[in-house]
Structure 1
Amino acid sequence: MSSKIEKDLEELVTKQVITSEVQLDIQRYYVAKKVAQPNTLLVVFGVLGSILTGLGIILILAHNWDDFSRTTKTIWAFAPLVAGQVLAAFALFKKKNDAWRETAATFLFFAIGASISLVSQIYNIPGAIDSFLLTWIILAAPLLYLLKSHATALLYIILATSYGCMIGYDINKPPYWALLALAGVLPHYVSLLKTKPNGNITGIFHWILPLSFMFLLGAFLNSGFSIGLLTHVCLFGLFYNLGKLPYFENQKLRRNGYLIIGSLGTIISLLIASFSYVWDDFIPDYISNNDLGITSIISLAAAGIVGYLFTKNKLKPFNLFQFAFLVFGGLYIFGFFQPEIASVLTNILILVLGLLAVIIGSRQEKFSILNYGLLIITTLISCRFFDTEIPFVVRGLLFIAIGAGFFGANYFMYKKQSKSNGK
């Protein structure tokens, strides 16, 4: 327990605010809490140590690999796997702390991949990289729940995402196994939401899971650019509204990956659609039932979250970011008939979103949101320099005006905060 808390407790006892028995109970609570908390630094260095140790062993073996016999090579191929299993069993049955479990699980995770690749190389077993990754994913899956390793879960998500992107983008097959692998991580994630709602590791999962689904989405689509853009806008709308749920909205902004990814993804997608030439070839010749089904499911899920927030009276004050995917869906349909007007309306939508972010930032007195809105407007104006013939003098004046707007908005925000703080 910190010395400040000790002094405060002594002061409260002296002034008879609390009794000495209450002081003792509080001290015991903080001591028990400190014991129960894992040493995060020790866990991080344990994971890094296991990774570096594994890489060092691989380098040493690679240097002398050609001098070994096949039997020796086979022994070395299984040695990291056996060592990792022994270390994991020791950490599991001896009920070691988080640092032990994370180190053992991480080492065993990489040992599985190393053993598979070495055995294949020694005995010339043919196989593509995608089958190797899938085998690694299947064999590593039990580590998530046997050792309850957060680092291994993160590595597992990265491995599954890499496999899915390879299958979807290189081989042009829907990576259903990758989706199933990610579904296997969800119970671990739900457990973190319940046990460590404000933990840093939970915040990392709030980022890596939506990023994973974002990268994988395109691997399931095959009807061209325009339907893919619409589907991604719907996905970002789903993420943004998930981030507005009470559980996530009460988190610090840096931990709310759903909200930030949803907002940035929506703006970037709309900026792509703001170019007039995009709408010239925007109408696809063919939309597969698969792509139409995926887009419908994601949009309905996002609309369902909006409906839930409405029933909980969480849509006030009005926030256009929560409905941007619906508006763009309407513009997408309208673009089939009037692509030029749809392009103009998309620009107006981005401008309104930027102004809304400025208003929200000003109302909540948050410089980050205020400058985010100004950045949206600045980027929109910059994009229009590429597809409109604006004289350089006008461009220069516009940038001067934008710079003045940045300075003025931040200055008035500072004065507002100073006034509210009584300075």
Structure 2
Amino acid sequence: MSKKAIRWLYDELPNLVAGQVLTAADAERLQDHYGALDDDGRPSLGLVICSILGATLIGLGIILVFAHNWAELSRPLRAFLSFAPLLAGQLLVGWVLLRRQDSRAWCEGSAVFLMAAVGAAIALVGQTYHISGDPEAFVLSWMLLGLPLSYLLRASAPVAFYWVGISCWAWMAHDWAGSGNQLWFWALAALAAPPVWQTVRRDPRSPRAAFLLWVVGICLCIGYGLSFKQGLGGGWILGYGGLLASFYLFDTGWPQQVSGWRRPWHVIGSLGIVVLSLLLTFETWSRRANWDRLAELWAQDPWLAAHWLLQSTLTLLLVGLAFWLLQRRLRSGRRDGLLFAAVAPLALVCYLLALFDVEGGALLAFNIYLAVLGVGTLRSGLRSGRLIQVNGGLVIITALIAARFFDSDLPFTVRVVLFILIGVGFLAANILAKKNRGAK
């Protein structure tokens, strides 16, 4: 019997015993008969990483050899050498599809090599025949030509490279003055969404899924900031509040035994919410966000939102997604994490306060919110005995107090005493959390 069949049988044994189809002794005898599996059913992470690094180094080495002797070669020979790695990569991918499709290491390595060959071919041919072009066009062409590899080989590395590439393209193409080319980032991102979703849906616990979600989460944060033009008051904060709250709430159906770095959107969302809220407690950032100028801008140009229709639509979609995920969590009976998710409705309330020219409303609201968030996180950590939550709550409170030191006129001695008290609070809270964890 193949290892795949044995693995399936071992996964089914607990259900068979629970359904009284087999006894526990029968299940043990079956396991003794077929023996232990050598692996956990997943490809070796080290082997996959080594294959990606190996393919990258081979590709870079070939490019360096070409570059060292490039000036001495004739133009036809340059063109041939430009296409040689591309042809070799295509042959390698074809062989992998025919003979090694089940090997994750071969799929990842061959995909990385071919994607590097595509970029090298475009650059070398353009240099050889002096084809004019700009960096944005080069990056965009490279990414679009390399994306099909993620569908053919179900490889994660090309998808991650594609997301990073389109984020770089959006940065190069962004123009605050008005072209709006960077808005194509969202259409480009949609092209790479299916392989990411398939990977996460297939096994949300896998390192591949965590790796892709880290890359996608960071790129989405960058892409939203680049695609949102200034001028719609604090609308970008409304959108970031919805985006980060959606990240945080995305783990509603996530396997509860998965934690830490394998829940990237949870981590990105929580850290992003704290950083965004902390920035908005400063008057400087509040003015940069135009909370206090929104009513004035609206009065000057009632069609300002229409002028930025795409950005406004995107913002509303993100906020709507956050509210939908929030109501799903409430309906499921889960109350954990509601303080972090509250940033989306809070941003909406502050947006409305600024719209009706309520001066200082947003500053006060985010100061109170950050204080409540820190205390709530600390309290939750003390009750559960989780040191990471305890220290997280203390860090939030400390950051808020430190922020107020920079824009207040407190005496130096008062600041010193407060920092000492915060340090004592850190030690006391950790000791108490350890005691609570030991009591359980």
TM-score using structure 1 length = 0.89
The correspondence for 1:72, drawn from 77, 102, 114, is 77
Any unmatched runs of 5+ in structure 1?
2-16
Q: Secondary structure of 1:288's match?
A: helix
The aligned residue for residue 250 of structure 2 is: 242
Structure 1 residue 328 displacement after superposition: 2.6
C-alpha distance in 1 between matches for 2:370 and 2:104: 46
C-alpha distance in 1 between matches for 2:434 and 2:254: 30
C-alpha distance in 2 between matches for 1:192 and 1:253: 19
Q: How does 1:221-370 map to 2 (within 5 A)?
A: 221-224=228-231, 226-243=234-251, 245-247=252-254, 249-280=256-287, 281-282=290-291, 283-284=293-294, 285=297, 287-289=304-306, 290=309, 291-314=311-334, 316=335, 319-336=338-355, 337-370=357-390
Structure 1 residue 317 displacement after superposition: 5.1
Runs of 4+ in 1 over 4 A off after TM superposition: 17-21, 169-172
- Give the 3 Å change call, closer, same or farther, for CA 358–106 of structure 1 in structure 2: same
Q: How does 1:2-401 map to 2 (within 5 A)?
A: 19=25, 22-25=28-31, 28=34, 30-31=36-37, 34=39, 36-96=41-101, 97-168=103-174, 172-224=179-231, 226-243=234-251, 245-247=252-254, 249-280=256-287, 281-282=290-291, 283-284=293-294, 285=297, 287-289=304-306, 290=309, 291-314=311-334, 316=335, 319-336=338-355, 337-401=357-421
C-alpha distance in 2 between matches for 1:21 and 1:264: 46
Structure 1 residue 238 displacement after superposition: 1.5
AA aligned opposite 1:132 = F
AA aligned opposite 1:192 = T
C-alpha distance in 2 between matches for 1:400 and 1:58: 57
Give the count of matched residue pairs. Answer: 402
Structure 1 residue 118 displacement after superposition: 0.5
C-alpha distance in 2 between matches for 1:404 and 1:59: 57
Any unmatched runs of 5+ in structure 2?
4-22, 299-303
Structure 1 residue 176 displacement after superposition: 4.3
Q: Any idea what the Cα deviations from partners look like across 1:288-322, whole Å, max 9, x if unmatched?
A: 332332221111111111122222222x2572212
Indicate the RMSD between aligned Cα atoms, in angstroms: 2.3
Q: Secondary structure of 2:333's match?
A: coil
AA aligned opposite 1:184 = L
Q: Secondary structure of 2:414's match?
A: helix
Q: Give yes or no for contact 1:158–1:212 (8 Å, CA) kept in 2.
A: yes
TM-score using structure 2 length = 0.85
AA aligned opposite 1:323 = A
Structure 1 residue 367 displacement after superposition: 0.6
Q: Secondary structure of 1:78's match?
A: helix
C-alpha distance in 2 between matches for 1:219 and 1:410: 40
AA aligned opposite 2:226 = A
Structure 1 residue 197 displacement after superposition: 2.1
C-alpha distance in 1 between matches for 2:36 and 2:193: 32
Q: Give yes or no for contact 1:137–1:181 (8 Å, CA) kept in 2.
A: no
C-alpha distance in 1 between matches for 2:359 and 2:398: 24
C-alpha distance in 2 between matches for 1:169 and 1:28: 63
